[in-house]
Amino acid sequence: RAAGGPSAGNTSMDLGALFGGSSAPARLLIERDQFVLDGQNFTVRAGCVHYFRVHPDLWEDRLARIAALGLNAVQTYVPWNYHQAWNASSLGPARVDLDSPSRDLPRFLRLAHGLGLRVVLRPGPYVCGEFEFGGLPAWLLRDGPIELRTDAEPYMGHVERWWGELLPRLRREGLMLDDGGPVMLVQIENEYGHFGDVSEVEADRRYLERLADLARRHLGDGAQLFTSDPDDLAKLTRGTLSPSASRLGSEVLTTVDSCDVPEDAWAAQRSFNPPGRSPFFCSELWVGWFAHWGEPARPNLAAQRARDVAERLRRVLAVNGGTGSVSLYMAHGGTSFGWWAGANTADGMYLPDTPSYD
């Protein structure tokens, strides 16, 4: 039993009754710069928990804590490499694993649903998240360098096969919002403005459009698709499917992260969405920070950030007459088990991340 919290055992029935999960079909719409769910204005108040950084016996405990915080949704990445390893026997990609205990994403989503939580799903295919290779399988490079994260083969062929396993599974198991499930928002790629440029490179624009088309083909029209980029105009220009850049500009919502100045972040977001279709969504409000091996300890970081985050959260929620939406990154960080921790670079230096993501 975790101190001060529910046990990690089989508590689904009790917790579901306590938090009031529902299975009624619903639809998330956008009207007058607000999310609308079942005809009522809806504010997303999400917390990030990565199921792959939490032992599966503790998934329900961590999700219950999200609900106990007063949040109404959980946000998670889906790292491709975690679900599809290399098969040394066949010398090819292994079968996609969505069933073994630590990789049973459908179970994680059902647990969230049973606790009354909606889901913001971030299936990549690149996710970053300080995870090994940003969630891309290392076997993509087994035969030498290839173009990644753009409309090029063989990369896109592999992506289509991966999403062709993942996304239909969510639909078959009734996990999408319009099927009575919890998944209401689905992110396309991740902070693409750091890497590509849809405004200048046609293959990059086609890449995001193909991902959006794939998501629509497999998931239907029930999920609201979105992109997420830092809240500066240059990265938003490079990373979003705005109406001026893409035929899908009115279908894929542009959102922002960081949100140091929430009012300015919403102004930037609005400039990349059609009029009236830009509910403010700070898709990552950073409440902590990861650490690299060899960095000095920062014992007072949590207390310092708590004061800053509390004020920024208040301002985020106050945007647009109190309709601002947010996702706390992270609500619970967990652990990058084994060799799954990623790395960063700065000034030519390789900076490996520690296993702790708290």
Overall average pLDDT of the 41-58 stretch: 98
CB 8 within 8 A of CB 60: yes
Tens of pLDDT, residue by residue over 104-147, are 999 999 999 999 999 999 999 999 999 999 999 999 999 999 99
pLDDT > 90: what percent of the chain? 82
Chain mean pLDDT for the chain? 92
In angstroms, the CA 358 to CA 353 distance is 12
Is 90 exceeded by the pLDDT of residue 289? no
> How high is the pLDDT of residue 8?
43
132 as an active site residue: the answer is: no
In angstroms, the CA 175 to CA 169 distance is 9
75 — pLDDT class (breaks 50, 70, 90): very high
> How high is the pLDDT of residue 151?
98
| Cα radius of gyration (the chain) | 19
Tokens found for residue 229: 């980029």
The catalytic position among 130, 191, 209, 251 is 191
Across 6-10, 62-66, 106-110, least confident range: 6-10
Tokens found for residue 80: 């491709």
> How high is the pLDDT of residue 11?
44
Please classify residue 211 by burial: count the beta carbons closer than 10 Å to its beta carbon, then call 0-12 exposed, 13-18 middle and 19+ buried: buried
> How high is the pLDDT of residue 2?
37
6 — pLDDT class (breaks 50, 70, 90): very low
> How high is the pLDDT of residue 296?
87
> How high is the pLDDT of residue 74?
98
Across 2-6, 196-200, 340-344, least confident range: 2-6
209 as an active site residue: the answer is: no
Is 80 exceeded by the pLDDT of residue 206? yes
236 — pLDDT class (breaks 50, 70, 90): very high
217 — pLDDT class (breaks 50, 70, 90): very high
**0.85 exceeded by pTM:** yes
The catalytic position among 60, 130, 189, 284 is 284
Q: What angle do CA 211, 146, 339 make, to 5 degrees?
A: 85
278 — pLDDT class (breaks 50, 70, 90): very high
In angstroms, the CA 59 to CA 65 distance is 10
Query: Look-up: residue for tokens 């009236």?
Result: 276
In angstroms, the CA 202 to CA 178 distance is 33
pLDDT > 70: what percent of the chain? 92
Is 50 exceeded by the pLDDT of residue 13? no
Overall average pLDDT of the 75-102 stretch: 95
192 — pLDDT class (breaks 50, 70, 90): very high
In angstroms, the CA 79 to CA 129 distance is 9
> How high is the pLDDT of residue 4?
38
In angstroms, the CA 120 to CA 326 distance is 11
Q: Which residues of 278-316 are buried (b: 16+ CB within 10 A; e: fewer)?
A: bbbbbbbbbbbebbbeeeeeeeeeeeebeeebeebbebb
CA dihedral 209, 213, 216, 221 (to 10 degrees): 60
